[in-house]
Structure 1
Amino acid sequence: MSARGEAAESVVGRVVLPGDVLLLPALPARPEEDEERLLRLGAAAGPPRGRLLCGPGLRRCAAGLLVTKAGVLRHRAAGGAYWVDSQQRRYVPVKGDHVIGIVTAKAGDVFKLDVGGSEQASLSYLAFEGATKRNRPNVQVGDLIYGQFLVANKDMEPEMVCIDSSGRSSGMGLIGQDGFLFKVSLGLIRKLLAPKCDIIQDLSQLYPFELVLGMNGRIWVKAKTVQQTLILVNILEASEYMTAEQRKQALAKLSGNR
């Protein structure tokens, strides 16, 4: 059933399709007020309740929000964010996203990284903590790098950095050579990155491990042994289609076999 023309708040949790238009409270009366009034929810009914953040799968239009991807509409009251939770596998770079890239080439002072998007991202050798012209990072083709996008838009090549605003690495940089890298859907990544994710908490009771999650759908995991690493990989991949009860039963069985 199409959600075209329905209020966005009433459609949260339901499936939406590309082309659906979701209405927002208090649409503007005059064209010159469009942008300002669309950014504020409930402006006509009372005090503004916060700014509207338009997330993946949605685009602003004169009537409200235009759906561009099929999936389930989600909403976070804190911050007023709307987005479409879909099973999309092709990643589109977004400024500020933390991703896992694979070094494909070194061109002068810039590394080229495959981030799973439509084009490669660039990374300067100076974009590492403590890097200088004399103290260059030891990065080779094939290495894995965890960083964030400093520039990401449709008109420019994506640019990554491995430092935050204060020049610290904050966990970003080269990822260890050992471990296992695999790819999952972007929907599962968002679920794993949620605060206090049940899946991660359950896995932490099974084995000690290292885990790096990239918003581009890539996961790097390393446990004490290769066998334990592969078990964690299989559970993470299957968790997208398992209920919480099924996952707990599988983990309980593995715990009993240790």
Structure 2
Amino acid sequence: MTTVVPGEKIDAQHVNLKLGPGLQQISSNGPSQSKIISTRAGAVNHSANGSRWWIESNSRRYVPALQESVVGAIVQRQGEGYRVDIGSAHSATLDGLAFESATKRNKPNLKVGCLVYARVSLAHKDMDPELECFDAQTHKSEGFGELKGGFVVKCSLKMCRDLLDPKHFLLPLLGSRFPFETAVGMNGRVWINAKQPGQVIAIARCIEAADPDGGGMELKAIKVFLDTLDI
């Protein structure tokens, strides 16, 4: 794993290259002379097939990136859509029709304070980010949409990426103890819901304990910690 600083050139190449947080493609003398540089300090990461690259840095400040999933809160109704707080420098826009099967006569009626699980459909440094609550390929909700009930835990961006990794121990461990629902946003927010309030509190405390910005507990320590909670 390579650690870089802002402005450093990254040797990322792929036929269908997609750049994630911390990377930017710039052109000096046309497309053929373009290069990819880092915009933040951190570790260079890429997907298994090398098509997606990003900079891993343990931060709580979210910078929107295309196709990333986020947990947001409605802060304002705006014409036919909404303004959504996703924890970035600027609030995002969410069109009222950007939901599965939504029409002008049949679309969600979200109120200020409602939570949504959405995907970033536009991320540009000179424009406000835009969201959509369906899968761009299938136009089905695929889990995106309004999040009813539950509780939102705020954590580091690194913790969110860890939770989205199928190999990470925490969510499978909790799922072996009791059933629950979760929606992990790449923006440092995790929505959780369970049958009992004590279970919701337990999940939240375990996420905070495993967070590198918090306790940084590993599997063995989390198991001991779980046994001390009233669930």
What TM-score, normalized by structure 1, do the two folds share?
0.75
1:183-216 Cα offsets, whole Å, 9 max, x none, are 1111110111012432111111122111111111
In the alignment, structure 1 residue 167 sits paired with structure 2 residue 155: no
1: CA distance, partners of 2:94 / 2:51: 33
Determine which structure has the larger strand proportion and give its number: 2
1:152-184 Cα offsets, whole Å, 9 max, x none, are 1112221111122332111111101x2111211
1: CA distance, partners of 2:3 / 2:173: 29
Please, which moves more after superposition, 160-169 or 74-83?
Answer: 74-83
SS class of match (1:126): strand
Q: Which residue of 2 aligns with 1:230?
A: 201
Structure 1 portions without partners, runs of 5+: 1-11, 25-37, 41-49
Moved over 6 A (4+): 61-64
Residue type at the aligned position of 1:247: I
Of 181, 187, 207, 1:216 maps to 187
Count of residue pairs brought into register by the alignment:
220
Residue type at the aligned position of 1:172: F
1:119-160 Cα offsets, whole Å, 9 max, x none, are 111111111122222223121111001111221111222111
> Does the 8 Å CA contact 1:213/1:219 hold for their aligned counterparts?
yes
Residue type at the aligned position of 1:169: S
Of 57, 73, 78, 1:107 maps to 78
User: Structure 2 matches for 1:1-258, cutoff 5 A?
Assistant: 12=1, 15-21=3-9, 24=11, 39=13, 53-59=18-24, 66-79=37-50, 81-165=52-136, 166-176=138-148, 178-240=149-211, 241-251=216-226, 253-254=227-228
Please, which moves more after superposition, 54-63 or 79-88?
Answer: 54-63
Share of identical aligned residues, percent?
A: 37
Q: Measured at CA, do residues 132 and 54 of structure 1 come closer, stay the same or move farther in structure 2, by a change above 3 Å? A: closer
Root-mean-square deviation over aligned CA pairs = 2.5
